[in-house]
Amino acid sequence: MTIEMVHIGFGNILAMSRVIAIASPNSAPTKRTIQEARNKGLLIDMTNGRRTKAVVFADSSHIVLAALAPETITGRLQTSRGTSVLRPEQSDAKDEL
């Protein structure tokens, strides 16, 4: 089994096979989840002091904070796989054609 590793900024690497979801940190439920993970010791901060732009949920219940946008992380994963990425706005426009 090959483990796909993706660079998420500042020399930090993430194993994408362990990722369940990548979200924006702006919603209240996500902020609560981050605080709960911090209290339980399950929070991994990979922002190097920068603003958090993505919250990565792992299958081990760990939460990873990243300074790159979710779209950037997904794009890097898709580039490493050699496939294209469709953002939600793009897929809606494609369906209308």
DSSP state of 18: G
pLDDT of 97 reads 46
pLDDT score of 93 more than 80: no
- pLDDT tens, position by position, 58-70: 999 999 999 999 9
- pLDDT tens, position by position, 26-56: 999 999 999 999 999 999 999 999 999 999 9
Where helices occur in the chain by DSSP H, the ranges are 28-40, 70-81, 88-96
User: Are 77 and 6 contacting, i.e. CB atoms less than 8 angstroms apart?
Assistant: yes
Q: What is the pLDDT confidence band of residue 84, given thresholds at 50, 70 and 90? A: low
- Note the pTM of the prediction, 2 decimals: 0.81
Domain parsing of the chain, residue ranges? 5-96
Tokens of 24: 């924006």
CA gap 60, 74 in Å, rounded: 20
